[in-house]
Structure 1
């Protein structure tokens, strides 16, 4: 039997936010079970291997390193101990449609200012001021907004926030696109500074200029890469969660959140556990004092709760904006590709047409595409004499585009998008025989994101960071209809991306502790006195 003073938790979803929540809550003294429907952990940060090639199937940018460091410090370790990180040189390369020469972005702000100045007279000095603004905005976001559940107004009544309130409101209301356009004229520079909107599942015209803060990350500190790929990060998270005492159950699908009627003056119900289907197909219930859903919020709310208990029912989602969908293309290439560094971006001339096509449900052609060649940095991801390529082609969040497959076996629409992207990359980067050198090929389409990850509308990231879906406007991390039901992950606050998912787990723990401050938890984290673990050898009933 577990200790009567120890509270039990069931976590739904084994992506990075679920693993982070499991590690933090177990370290805080909770009795933790995590259930993951797929056979492995990682969620969107998945992996795939074939013929000596190892692919990350999701995130590939290691940004906001201080967030990773802080999270690991909470658990008594560090990013340096857990990961073999390497700073990329260059951080990334950009090919622009209609321009012969690409532009490299480095980890040095000074070098990036010089490159901006070479493109447009005066742009170097303007970039310096832009990055100063980005850093100030980033600092206040970390100090006041990212590590809070927005369940109390007190943190936002500080003298600093009040003093900077008008400026912050302006940044929320003005789109990033116009904010950048007022400072830079060359379309290439505007695209570089507008690209962070894509990381947020949106477009520069729909993303608040508050997010210009993201340029303080890659244009000043560069981009890092964990050797072994982002699968190595997930492996570290699994190990830390287990070391903290959490039990992780792969191949175990959550099918229903079990509730009991609420008492007078309380919510309409109280979470009491999770019904699951184990790898053998048997249904059983894991009882819990607290349920934490880190899987796709739309999937959880609309399939695991009855309509009267849904805080975010289907009608709520119809008024929201999804991130784009995408076609993923994983390629094993014979021979070397010196034209491509670790990260490459292909920017089309008319971004408005690209983003407009996606918003209208059409596939842009040509598309502004992201390319990752991890074999530039990590020899373990491809056999000798070969390269590993990963392409992300933005597309509508529309499962009707179909599934991907191996060696051209995906839907005709998905494979056509992949073929065009491969041809475009070869032409722009000067690799005319690229398609002839493919020895391994796999595609993933929007229908795969829907079916494999429960992704809302088959989107690749979750709800986009538009004004109505940012900060305190984003879905909260606690149910308003069910007591003891909480949320973490990219669907909820603070938002999209691996760092945000780590923060969401810490924000969840703070909420459970009744901590309304905007501050990070002190490191290393000590268990809350009321949730210390039971004596060694006890097991949960």
Structure 2
């Protein structure tokens, strides 16, 4: 049955949901509060420098390929991907030589044996386990909304049941310690927890599956950046008939007799409109959806429940346009502090770590269009607590004092640890983003940068569900629902909505069209 669908939010999950549902023949209207589409996956341009303002790691290519095939196209037709080699470079506070991490099994095993002689067999077993666990997740868990958990009890899942207690009950760091004793190698195996909005000391070891992604599957970069990826999904949504409204903030989800019947929104002129719908899909932060768009009786979680949840970390983002080259940096760079446990403990205690580990993306190493010829584009991310009182950012050093101080310290750290000692004086463009910006721009709960942390009690069965248990016809997608944070997960959440409207239950992907690109 074809339905009228109103979608709240024009980030990756909202656009992907609009594209899939419109392709299925539904009448789709999407409402985005901001002038630009993309949400956290935004773009900013100044003085010839173009910055992605959010996601920068392209992982899980099979998820993208499947998504595009559902829409009658392919990754090759939509994106110009460059495989990065090295996948990333790691710098250490200790001053030890940086490590280049290549997305090649043989090279990874060689690196392990070079840093920690005799560790090759253990690392080979780790990679085998990561591959097996990844396949188990993709084939049985990620494409399931967990509405009927008993459907997971398939023979292939039960064959691995003996592994689940350790994968769920042991931390990622403890699991990594079985593979490497050298602290640098343990950090390499534990850092993916940050991409999940938590720490390696709290993330279940199930997530060691991510080692398969960056160490074997590979890290790529879409030329044009993630802003180009977003624009492509928006084109597909419009091609299939979805109508995308910008500068149209949704103010209320209309519920009558326990059924979602539409929404109200303001148009760019400030006038309020009521939109009737058979289905409402909110891709906004779940906390914002429940606390601000629904009446109290329609909420699934109380204020007390939210107070006990972990919002995941926030961040200070720093976008730098730099004159001249920075050859010591790779495309992706990780700067790890020596006392990692103290770094994460500070964030969990609500303090800004000092020193803090830093992520640096240098897309100008790969993409000639993100900076003037001969110059560099840097995107810097410093994880810190989800605390809006840390403040908001600004351009040219005009952000709140604490945000700018974090940015200054990060620039100094990059210069000192990478050997690019004159970095600060070569900066000609600077913009910062702080926790208050995440809250104000994206209605992010407590200013979280990613979404609720992937600790055990907020993963899989315990994460936000696709279908509201209180309001019929209200569905959710995005980083605050299953399967979780990250662009691939947002694409999957969109497919979970499409499965729901098709009446498909259980795990597994939707079937792809028989012929694509013919």
The within-5 A match list for 1:234-249 is 234-249=230-245
Match of 2:216 in 1: 220
In the TM superposition, residue 103 of structure 1 has moved relative to its aligned partner by 0.2
Match of 2:54 in 1: 58
Match of 1:395 in 2: 384
Query: Unmatched 5+ residue regions in structure 2?
Result: none
Match of 1:150 in 2: 146
Task: Give TM-score scaled by structure 2 length.
Answer: 0.98
The range that moved more, 369-378 or 511-520, is: 511-520
1:201 corresponds, among 188, 197, 201, to 197
1:455 corresponds, among 430, 439, 444, to 444
Is the counterpart of residue 383 in structure 1 residue 397 in structure 2? no
In the TM superposition, residue 123 of structure 1 has moved relative to its aligned partner by 1.6
Encode CA deviations 1:330-369: one digit per residue, 9 max, x unaligned: 0000100000010000000001110001111111111110
Q: Secondary structure at the match of 1:197?
A: helix
Encode CA deviations 1:478-536: one digit per residue, 9 max, x unaligned: 1111100000000000001000000001111112222113111111289xxxxxxxxxx
The within-5 A match list for 1:110-509 is 110-261=106-257, 269-509=258-498
Q: Distance in 1 between matches of 2:457 and 2:2?
A: 38
Q: Is the 8 A contact 2:315 2:381 kept in 1?
A: yes
The within-5 A match list for 1:31-50 is 31-50=27-46
Encode CA deviations 1:214-263: one digit per residue, 9 max, x unaligned: 100110122100001100000000000001110000100000000101xx
Q: Secondary structure at the match of 2:316?
A: strand
Q: Is the 8 A contact 2:152 2:506 kept in 1?
A: no
Match of 1:90 in 2: 86
Encode CA deviations 1:421-477: one digit per residue, 9 max, x unaligned: 000000001011110000000000000000000011101000000000111111111
Q: Is the 8 A contact 2:31 2:245 kept in 1?
A: yes
Is the counterpart of residue 521 in structure 1 residue 517 in structure 2? no
Q: Secondary structure at the match of 1:381?
A: coil
Deviation beyond 6 Å, 4+ runs, structure 1: none
Encode CA deviations 1:177-223: one digit per residue, 9 max, x unaligned: 11111221000000000011011000001100000001001101221
Q: Distance in 1 between matches of 2:8 and 2:413?
A: 40
Change (3 A) 1:208 1:108: same
Encode CA deviations 1:297-341: one digit per residue, 9 max, x unaligned: 111110000111101332221121111010000000010000001
The range that moved more, 513-522 or 151-160, is: 151-160
In the TM superposition, residue 114 of structure 1 has moved relative to its aligned partner by 0.3
* Aligned Cα root-mean-square deviation (Å): 1.1
In the TM superposition, residue 99 of structure 1 has moved relative to its aligned partner by 3.1
Q: Is the 8 A contact 2:95 2:417 kept in 1?
A: no
| Number of aligned residues | 515
Q: Distance in 1 between matches of 2:21 and 2:410?
A: 43
Q: Distance in 1 between matches of 2:201 and 2:268?
A: 45
In the TM superposition, residue 154 of structure 1 has moved relative to its aligned partner by 4.1
Q: Is the 8 A contact 1:345 1:369 kept in 2?
A: yes
Task: Give TM-score scaled by structure 1 length.
Answer: 0.94
Q: Is the 8 A contact 2:130 2:209 kept in 1?
A: yes
Query: Unmatched 5+ residue regions in structure 1?
Result: 262-268, 527-541
In the TM superposition, residue 173 of structure 1 has moved relative to its aligned partner by 1.1
The range that moved more, 5-14 or 37-46, is: 5-14
Match of 1:537 in 2: none
